[in-house]
Chains A and B, each alone.
Chain A
């Protein structure tokens, strides 16, 4: 995928940058980084000519250059309401692990939860065995970019049979203007392990670029539930790829709440083996000139897999949304059971959604369904509420809130549920209502 324009300006700074990256003592990592850099130098960032990126223009991050700055020693970091109680917590500030804000006390000893930089010292064999196994650097330029220069990140390894009784919250908070963070996360659940992860992306109200990659391995009969809350600054660029390998009988649920960013792109790809279950839920709310792109792929590699996907979008003003839901059923993946649904609400004439469900079925005994809707509010429902004394504007607002809230109600964790509810309410306020009634 050679690019005819010049090499990305980001490639030029690599030599200088790579000296300071964690894991410099690991020759194998040096080699992987070097190859990834080669790859990135050749292909650059994705362009509108790439089928998987045709609705999302990445070029602004090359017009406006971001750079990885060192951590600020005296930064006054506000996490506030985003810090959830009853969670273990890892906080990355500008992409660097911040011990003072993190809290891993009481974590079972057998469980490894630490920053990626620390893990490169302590668990380098495990990282070597997994890095690049859930996603290849050929996937697209942002993956190669991340591999070549990832700094810190989250490392989790949960041994066989271990179930965590509270979630691990990863908070990525960005504080510096024009800063670039490229975090790399590696999450490994061994057989029969169970965990919940709450990934939270926030930042001060300025421009920054976050380009993260997560590789996730869910072992045989293991269960992982992953919540992502992206509430970045409305000037920020957010790129995030979550690449999941699911073993036989494993269960993976992902809940993707995307509210922030000037430009946000989430890639969530799951390769699922025999009788594994995969559930992808998403809610994206965009306004002003925000652009939010969710790109999902579920690859049924073996028989009896079950996948469920539901994404909802609400777009207002001049916002633009993209949903791509690709389900691939391999020739061997008989008895696959797959449903995908994407519903979008356009609240203004200038809002836009490009939605593209894609089923690629190579097996002949499968049950696959998909549905997409793009529309305005249901006028029957508006009339019903008006006939119950609610004025027109409130009725529309109530229905929009309700449309979004359906995804929030799926969240069982009380603290996260309440936080999400308050963020949705900020966007679609409901007057005089106790939260417990919503």
Chain B
């Protein structure tokens, strides 16, 4: 599904990713862990198409297409979803409006008719229940005045409605208390399927207690320095990042 090959990227002349390799197959859940400054957020930004990054080497193919050559909205329409580390507040645009506009953009992209208003409402309300959110959230402005936990939950709600193929969760657990974390994790787990893949980017091992990854990778200084199964996360937690940073050098 996703094939990252020798990716080098930077911002304003500063190299951040220095030869990153990663392959994600359909249905797999990958976790990327790493210390601050390892390049975790850069990776999520580059994959989602945020401007300002310079790709100096390497390639990313997504379902056989050159992902880096696609506009951000086309990546999203083709099923790449980024749950933001810091979801943006958009006063004046209601949640439900954005959800409908996004869903219809995907449908149009695939040559489908716009979603029926009643069907859409039923769908959205169903997903709202899944994330244990109040329906009133739908009619509030996107993320405006939301708590940190509500914003993260709202990102997963969007994923649940848009049904992406590849879901990138950027520090989705940061800022969440344990109850909110469980709800978000339940939401994510309910989205798991054999043809939907996840890339979880996280600083903390805690998230992986609730969303079990198939693979764990350690990112340090712009490269994946160690890969393994879920047990790697526990080892990291016990030994600290200095353990792998030592290996990167």
Given A389-B73, A434-B117, residue A384 in contact with residue B92 (CB < 8 A): no
With A385-B98, A433-B97 already in contact, the answer to whether A390 and B90 are too (CB < 8 A) is: no
Contact of B91 among A380, A394, A406 (CB under 8 A): A406
Interface centre among A389, A399, A438, by most B CB within 10 Å?
Answer: A389
The docked-state distance in angstroms from the alpha carbon of A317 to that of B62 is 41
* Nearest Cβ on chain A to B99's Cβ, whole angstroms: 8
CA distance A406 to B49 in the complex (A): 29
Say yes or no: A405-B92 contact (C-beta < 8 A), given A388-B158, A390-B105.
Answer: yes
Contact between B106 and A389 (Cβ–Cβ < 8 Å)? yes
Question: A403 on the interface (CB 8 Å rule)?
Answer: yes
By beta carbon, the residue of chain A nearest B101 is A390
Please determine whether B84 and A384 come into contact, CB atoms closer than 8 angstroms: yes
A-B interface, 9 closest residue pairs, ranked by CB to CB distance from nearest = A402-B92, A389-B105, A384-B88, A386-B72, A405-B92, A389-B76, A388-B102, A389-B102, A402-B93
A404-438 residues with Cβ-Cβ distance < 8 A to B are 404-406, 409, 430, 432-434, 437-438
Indicate with 1 or 0, residue by residue over B27-64, a CB within 8 angstroms of chain A CB atoms: 00000000000000000000011110000000000000
Annotate A381-400 by CB proximity to B: 1 below 8 A, 0 otherwise: 10111111111101000110
Residues 1-49 (chain A) with a chain B CB within 8 angstroms: none
- Verify if B243 is at the interface (C-beta below 8 Å from A): no
Q: List 18 A-B contacts (CB under 8 A).
A: A383-B50, A383-B72, A386-B49, A387-B49, A387-B81, A388-B101, A389-B101, A389-B102, A389-B109, A391-B71, A391-B73, A391-B105, A392-B71, A394-B101, A402-B93, A406-B92, A409-B92, A437-B100
Chain B residues, CB < 8 A from A394: 101
Interface of A is mostly: helix
Counting CB contacts under 8 A, is B152 at the interface?
no
Partner of A388, one of B92, B94, B98, B114: B98
Q: Which of A381, A384, A388 has the most CB of B within 10 A?
A: A388
* Chain B residues, Cβ within 8 Å of A401: 92-93
Name A's B-contacting residues (CB within 8 A): 378-381, 383-392, 394, 398-399, 401-406, 409, 430, 432-434, 437-438
B94 touches A437 (CB 8 A): yes
19 further interface pairs, Cβ-Cβ under 8 Å (given A388-B101, A430-B97): A383-B51, A384-B88, A386-B72, A387-B50, A387-B82, A388-B76, A388-B98, A389-B109, A389-B162, A390-B73, A390-B102, A398-B93, A398-B101, A401-B93, A402-B90, A403-B92, A432-B100, A433-B97, A433-B100
Within 8 A of A (CB), among B67-84: 71-73, 75-77, 81-82, 84
Q: In the complex the two chains form, what is the Cα distance from A322 to B84 in whole Å?
A: 37
Q: What is the distance, in angstroms, from B158's C-beta to the closest C-beta of chain A?
A: 7
**How far in angstroms is the closest Cβ of chain B from A310?**
12
B interface residue count range (under 10 / 10 to 19 / 20 to 34 / 35 or more): 35 or more
Given the complex, which residues of A lie within 8 Å of B103, measured CB to CB?
Answer: 389
Q: Hey, which chain B residues are within 8 Å of A398, CB to CB?
A: 93, 101
Query: Given A386-B73, A438-B97, is A381 in contact with B88 using a C-beta cutoff of 8 Å?
Result: yes
CB <8 Å contact, A402 and B91:
yes
For B158, what are the chain A residues with a Cβ–Cβ distance below 8 Å?
388
Give which listed residue, A386, A388, A403, A404, contacts B71 with CB less than 8 A.
A386
Asked if residues B87 and A432 are in contact (CB atoms below 8 Å), the reply is no
Bound-state Cα–Cα, A433 to B92, Å:
14
Residues of B within 8 A of A438 (CB): 94, 97
User: Complex formed: what's the CA distance from A430 to B76 in Å?
Assistant: 20
Q: A432-B104, A434-B117 are in contact. Are A387 and B48 (CB under 8 A)?
A: yes
Q: How far is the CA of A403 from the CA of B105 in the complex (A)?
A: 22
- Report the Cα distance A263→B92, complex, angstroms: 28
CA distance A390 to B90 in the complex (A): 14
Pick the residue among B48, B73, B77, B88 that contacts A392 (CB under 8 A).
B73
Interface flag for B7 (CB, 8 Å) = no
Q: B200 interface residue, CB < 8 Å from A?
A: no
Taking the closest CB of chain B, its distance from the CB of A51, in whole angstroms, is 34
Separation of A409 and B91 alpha carbons in the complex (Å): 10
Smallest Cβ distance from A368 to chain B, in angstroms? 24
Asked whether, in the complex, the Cβ of A404 is within 8 Å of the Cβ of B82, the reply is: no
In whole angstroms, how far apart are the Cα atoms of A432 and B108 in the complex?
Answer: 12
Decide if B96 is an interface residue (CB 8 Å cutoff).
yes
Docked Cα-Cα span, A433 to B104, in Å, equals 11
**What residues of B have a CB within 8 angstroms of the CB of A384 in the complex?**
84, 87-88, 90
> Which of A385, A392, A432, A434 has the most chain B CB within a 10 Å cutoff?
A385
Interface contact A380-B94, CB-CB below 8 Å: no
State the CA gap A385–B87 with chains docked (Å): 11
A385 contact set on B, CB distance < 8 A: 90, 98
Cα of A386 to Cα of B81 in the assembled complex, Å: 11
CA of A409 to CA of B51, assembled, Å: 32
Q: Nearest chain-B residue to A433 (Cβ)?
A: B97
What is the CB-to-nearest-CB distance from B86 to chain A, in angstroms, rounded to a whole number? 9
User: A398 CA to B98 CA in the complex, in Å?
Assistant: 9
